[in-house]
Structure 1
Amino acid sequence: MVTPRNVPGVTFQNGRVEVHGHRGARGLRPENTLPGFAYALELGVDAIEFDVGLTADGVVVVNHDQALSPLTTTDTAPATPGDPLFPYVGRDIRDLTLAQIRTVDAGVRRIGPGQDGDPLILTQLPLPGTRLPTLAEVCELLHGLDGICPAVELKTDPGWPDDEIRRFVVAVAEVLDAFGLLARSRFLAFDWRVLAEARSHAPQAARVALVERKTLAAGTGWLAGLSPDDPTAAAVAAGASVISPEHHLVTSQLVHDAHGLGLPVAVWTVNDPGDMARFIEYGVDAIVTDYPDRLHQVLTSYDLPRPAPCTPAAHLP
């Protein structure tokens, strides 16, 4: 296994593979919701990974895409009678207010147009009536749970102006700081300008450089002007504390190279137990999964430590 490494906001140690609940426990409960996060905590995770956006009225809310997706959200009723923006599903988060987003039901996953099947529908328990939470509500859920890391992905893209990136990072940092969670938080981003802003405005938090094939394409605008030819070296140059590649990109050589540069590796999204075992043998530091329960079983088979289950003290609405 890998040599111990300590970076701001995160500690990886020899013989330990972290369990990261992807959007909570997306394979088992509705993604990016308080019940989903609570269930992941009850299974046992080291980090809760989730996505955030900034509403038109400046509130940080939890949602995977920049827009409300018909796969995971359903309109119920307008926030005010005759609201010209209704229906809200399909609209960008930053064009909607918190009141408008609060009307959306996020508790039932649906099959999208042109999709033959969705394996998550077969295993995810529907919870109709579940709403999208704010970042503050997630912080309330995690407050007092020592050792649980909020892994917050900021959803932007290269088309965003720099000042919007800065405003978004500052807003997220302010919420985390208000709950005393900033020092154990992780800022995740495919748009690496977020990492630079996080280094300036939240230096005590870890910065996670997300990588997928799309963001490594020639002429990419995702890496803040850095070359995609050597992703690990580019991540170091971007000021990342951790590199987090999609599982298709992860090889034993990539893990070796990253560790040689002092970068822990968090691979996503890994749901097959065989793949989990392979990445453990590669020496990755964390595995992001929709099924924390499956990863627990694999860790047990390797006689590796597992995060303990915990119950949040905060009341779920």
Structure 2
Amino acid sequence: MAGGGRTLLDRVEAHGHRGSRGLRPENTLPAFAHALALGVDVIELDVGLTADGEVVVHHDQALSALTARDTAPSRADDPMFPYVGKPIRDLTLAQIKTVDAGMRRASDTDPFVLTQLPIVGTRVPTLAEVCDLVVRLDAHTTDLAIEVKTDPGWPDHEVARLVEAVADVMDIWGLTRRTRLLGFDWRVLGHARRLAPQAAGRVALIEPETLKPGSAWLAGVVPPEPADPLDGTAWTRLLTGAISAGATVLSPERTLVRPELIGEAHRLGLAVTVWTVNEPAEMARLIEMGVDGIVTDHPDRLRLVMAERGLPLPPCHGPRTSVEAV
């Protein structure tokens, strides 16, 4: 690799965030298909569990007005309608399937409104439908990074139930060994270790909010002190705690990444995948720093940066009509 950077994986992985949020409606089948056609090592997605026990793909724990619009009730005089704004866990799959997830709400401050191709009529997919897409496109080189959307306020048995539901879907589709389970709530990691021991990885997500003093997100692990959040000793305690919780990968928000953090994570055997990076200059800087993977809304940009640096590119899968790819 150019420069002094070193990766634990001996290559840099390209992760399509919510499929390809910068290019297609996030967390939808078109977004995942587009990412696969461009060529990524991993497609990242978020999941929740419906009232009738179906695993669906959506970023928030409630149907977000940013990415979802009501159309019509699933049945006449449904007292739950409108559905947007209501928790996914309170809605059935039939209710969620009425929502149009193909267009972002217009906003002058949302960069994706300018770069994302609207696809009106796109529905919220189930995790099984995403698996079907991956299998149909024979995307055998692509892993799935599934963020299990829980909250530290949830009882532990509810966290376990969602992890188990995800694990069951992946097992049915024969994709467990290509699955990485992610969580800001580090209880997810322990349940994943128990319920999906053959999964490809367990990813400890961190951001400044979850590292605040007294954080309930880290399953009892003590975060670094705010006076010196990048102190090496404090990071060692945090990383060791993540490993004890079940992590095999650390995934920090981009502003937290420093060479010292990467070096200590690698020393302890943790790969480092950074999120969410959309500017080519920052992608190049992080590659130079030695990260193992980059999560991006713009896989097309990341492929260009990787190609310019002579890094191996992930294969493309599926139709390439109207797709810009290296």
Matched, 1:40 2:17: no
Q: 1:37 to 1:3 in 2, by over 3 A?
A: closer
Alignment of 1:57-72 (within 5 A): 57-72=52-67
Counterpart residue number, 1:149: 143
Alignment of 1:185-264 (within 5 A): 185-205=179-199, 206-229=201-224, 230=235, 231-264=238-271
AA of the residue aligned to 2:212: A
Matched, 1:179 2:176: no
SS of alignment partner, residue 16 of structure 2? strand
User: How many angstroms does 1:118 deviate by?
Assistant: 0.7
2:6 to 2, 18, 41: 2
TM-score (norm 2): 0.90
Q: Which segments of 5 or more consecutive residues in structure 1 lack a partner in the other structure?
A: 5-11, 313-317
SS of alignment partner, residue 271 of structure 2? coil
Are the counterparts in 2 of residues 228 and 234 from structure 1 also a CA contact under 8 Å? no
Q: 1:179 to 1:35 in 2, by over 3 A?
A: same
Counterpart residue number, 2:310: 303
Q: How many residues align?
A: 300
Are the counterparts in 1 of residues 23 and 298 from structure 2 also a CA contact under 8 Å? yes
User: How many angstroms does 1:109 deviate by?
Assistant: 0.5
Separation in 2, partners of 1:3, 1:111: 39
Separation in 1, partners of 2:221, 2:43: 29
Separation in 1, partners of 2:61, 2:170: 20
Counterpart residue number, 2:232: none
Separation in 2, partners of 1:238, 1:306: 32
Counterpart residue number, 2:79: 84
SS of alignment partner, residue 99 of structure 1? helix
Counterpart residue number, 1:285: 292
Counterpart residue number, 1:29: 24
Separation in 1, partners of 2:316, 2:139: 11
AA of the residue aligned to 1:185: T
Q: Which segments of 5 or more consecutive residues in structure 2 lack a partner in the other structure?
A: 225-234, 320-326
User: How many angstroms does 1:232 deviate by?
Assistant: 2.0
SS of alignment partner, residue 46 of structure 2? strand
Matched, 1:130 2:122: yes
Counterpart residue number, 1:8: none
User: How many angstroms does 1:245 deviate by?
Assistant: 0.3
Seq. identity, %: 62
Separation in 2, partners of 1:294, 1:166: 37
Cα RMSD (Å) of the superposition?
1.1
Separation in 1, partners of 2:173, 2:15: 21
User: How many angstroms does 1:149 deviate by?
Assistant: 0.3
Counterpart residue number, 2:322: none
CA deviation profile, 1:84-118 (whole Å, cap 9, x unmatched)? 11000000000000000000000001136xxx411
CA deviation profile, 1:61-92 (whole Å, cap 9, x unmatched)? 00000000000000000001111110000000
1:162 to 153, 156, 173: 156
Counterpart residue number, 1:118: 110
Are the counterparts in 1 of residues 7 and 290 from structure 2 also a CA contact under 8 Å? no
TM-score (norm 1): 0.93
User: How many angstroms does 1:2 deviate by?
Assistant: 2.8
Separation in 2, partners of 1:269, 1:27: 11
Are the counterparts in 1 of residues 141 and 315 from structure 2 also a CA contact under 8 Å? no
Q: Which runs of 4+ in 1 moved over 6 A?
A: none
